Chain A
Amino acid sequence: MMFLKIDGIQKSFGKDGRREQVLKDISVDVREGEFISLLGPSGCGKSTLLNIVAGLNRPDSGILQLDGRDIVKPGKERGMVFQQAALFPWLTVEENVMFPLKGMPKKEAKEVAKKYLRLVQLSQYAGHHPHELSGGMQQRVSIARALAMDPAVLLMDEPFGALDEQTRMRLQGVLEEIWIETKKTIIFVTHSIQEAVRLSDRIIVMGTHPGRVLQDIEVTLGRPREGHLKEMAAYEESILEMLKTENDKVEEEERNHAVGH
């Protein structure tokens, strides 16, 4: 039995009276402990797919199972980190990390929060409020918050997309360390080829119109990845090449479509 089974997912949205297919027959099997990226241009439905796995959206059809159980709504076994940190401004950093720990004795919850804040190197900011932190720090708190409830899967929707390049690179390093330490299963949505290669064991490359899986690439490089710059560049190049052929195909289709009318 697969750990996370995504099988034959279809999804369309209504737009001005006509339906547009966003996801077409998406099937991915995710192994436990795997760092997997959904890579593709905007509009390929990668975020929609992640929202479906989170239970925030429902697919039109298809099978979605975590550990053999159907996913029908959001749950604590699937933590999510969004592009915006989405921290609650009325709570301190520590209280934010404790938010999903409702029901746990307060002292214990505090210990858990402390542990995960240490993991993202922010323990000294426990008493601060979110508006006092930089964007990169907020996003680290948001990662700590998702990890605090000890989810089986961590879903990340372009978590570093709104950050500047330097912060982004640094956080990629932090995330890789966290992954090595916790061995969480992570599904990571990005449109950056560099980011996908830098972080993933496996990259699911997606295309648009309709959103579909183009290729499933295993990245067999050692960790931490910093030491493998040359090999990473080779992977990036081959993915870029593949996306280019795909782009040409789409453009040709569009041209033919226009001529046909």
Chain B
Amino acid sequence: MRLVIKRLVFFVSLFLVWELAVRLFQIPAVLLPAPTDVFRALGEMIADGTLFRDLGASFMRLLVGLAIALLIGLLLGILLAKSKTADETLGSLILALQSIPSIVWLPLAIMWFGLNEKSVIFIIVLGAAIVMTINVRTGIQNVSPIYLKAAQTMGASGPDLFFRVMLPASVPYFVTGTRLAWAFGWRALMAGELLSTGPGLGYTLKYASDFGRMDMVLGIMIVIGIIGVTVDLLLFQRFEQQVRVKWGLEPSS
């Protein structure tokens, strides 16, 4: 409970200082709008429905992209874990691709798919599938040898061993992969929308910027941040923690 109070005090004072600074030094709204303006802009966007329409459109894209990415990541990860040759060749390419931010694929994607949703989804898939692939591969390769030995003495081998032991044993890694895929996907989504077309949160942000509405820009930024933190901390990290405890990777507290 004390944590909540500490944070509340911190954020309230942050907004107070911000408000005071803007008023005291008479900072123009195009440089830095006051928090009251930002919240008013947010209120408007909620009232006329733009915010929810944008959120809906963005989330739709994200979900489609993530679903494709997780499927690709799962299959590729299994392939890399099971085939040494694939790991040594395709695996090195995937590691190399990981160091390229997926947004730089956008010019190519627009040439391939046009200036539309497909390009943005492509960017999400690229960003998210790679982290998922790497986590799935690591998970399957790191299955505790004692599980495999025990299963073998109980008559399991081949596909039976894979589906009944290796896959379930790697679930904690799949969960981590999914969390990271969401984080990469969310960032890729915003960047993609900012540079392509709407409707969507990123697109509205660009639109507001074109009209010099920095209060709307900041408002959307706050929404992006809140959604990111909520999904990551409250949803994924909590779930990941539960899975790790159940799988005996961390002591229960």
Contacts of A89 in B (CB 8 A): 246-248
Contacts of B168 in A (CB 8 A): 88, 90
Closest to A130 in B: B248
Please provide the chain A residues from 148 to 173 with a CB less than 8 Å away from any CB of chain B in the complex. 149, 155
Closest to B247 in A: A89
| B146 CB contact (under 8 Å) in A84, A99, A102, A130 | A84
| A100 CB contact (under 8 Å) in B146, B155, B247, B248 | B155
Central interface residue in B146, B152, B155, by most chain A CB within 10 Å: B155
**Proximity string of chain A (226-257) to chain B, C-beta cutoff 8 Å, 1 when within and 0 when not:** 00000000000000000000000000000000
The distance in angstroms between the C-alpha atoms of A129 and B246, with both chains bound, is: 8
| Contact assessment for B153 and A54 in the assembled complex, using a CB-CB cutoff below 8 Å | yes
| Contact assessment for A88 and B146 in the assembled complex, using a CB-CB cutoff below 8 Å | no
Interface residues on A, range: 20 to 34
Please provide the chain B residues from 17 to 74 with a CB less than 8 Å away from any CB of chain A in the complex. none
| Contact assessment for B165 and A145 in the assembled complex, using a CB-CB cutoff below 8 Å | no
| Contact assessment for B252 and A145 in the assembled complex, using a CB-CB cutoff below 8 Å | no
| B246 CB contact (under 8 Å) in A56, A76, A84, A131 | A131
| Contact assessment for A90 and B146 in the assembled complex, using a CB-CB cutoff below 8 Å | no
| Number of residues on chain B facing chain A (CB within 8 A) | 21
| Contact assessment for B155 and A88 in the assembled complex, using a CB-CB cutoff below 8 Å | no
Please provide the chain B residues from 122 to 166 with a CB less than 8 Å away from any CB of chain A in the complex. 146-147, 149-156, 160, 164-165
| Contact assessment for A90 and B147 in the assembled complex, using a CB-CB cutoff below 8 Å | no
With A78-B153, A129-B246: A90-B169 Cβ-Cβ less than 8 Å? yes
Contacts of A146 in B (CB 8 A): 153-154
With A76-B155, A131-B252: A82-B150 Cβ-Cβ less than 8 Å? yes
| Contact assessment for B154 and A100 in the assembled complex, using a CB-CB cutoff below 8 Å | yes
**Proximity string of chain A (97-108) to chain B, C-beta cutoff 8 Å, 1 when within and 0 when not:** 001101000000
Q: How far is the CB of A93 from chain B (nearest CB, A)?
A: 13
| Contact assessment for A74 and B152 in the assembled complex, using a CB-CB cutoff below 8 Å | yes
Closest to A74 in B: B152
Interface membership of A62, Cβ < 8 A: no
Q: How far is the CB of A54 from chain B (nearest CB, A)?
A: 6
**Proximity string of chain B (159-184) to chain A, C-beta cutoff 8 Å, 1 when within and 0 when not:** 01000110011010000000000000
| Contact assessment for B155 and A56 in the assembled complex, using a CB-CB cutoff below 8 Å | no
The distance in angstroms between the C-alpha atoms of A81 and B28, with both chains bound, is: 74
Interface membership of A79, Cβ < 8 A: yes
Central interface residue in B147, B150, B156, B171, by most chain A CB within 10 Å: B150
Q: How far is the CB of B154 from chain A (nearest CB, A)?
A: 4
Q: How far is the CB of A158 from chain B (nearest CB, A)?
A: 13
The distance in angstroms between the C-alpha atoms of A247 and B160, with both chains bound, is: 47
Interface membership of A109, Cβ < 8 A: no
Query: A-contacting residues of B (Cβ < 8 Å)?
Result: 146-147, 149-156, 160, 164-165, 168-169, 171, 245-248, 252
A-B contact pairs, 13 of them (CB 8 A): A55-B153, A56-B149, A74-B155, A78-B153, A86-B147, A88-B165, A88-B169, A90-B171, A90-B246, A90-B247, A102-B160, A131-B252, A149-B155
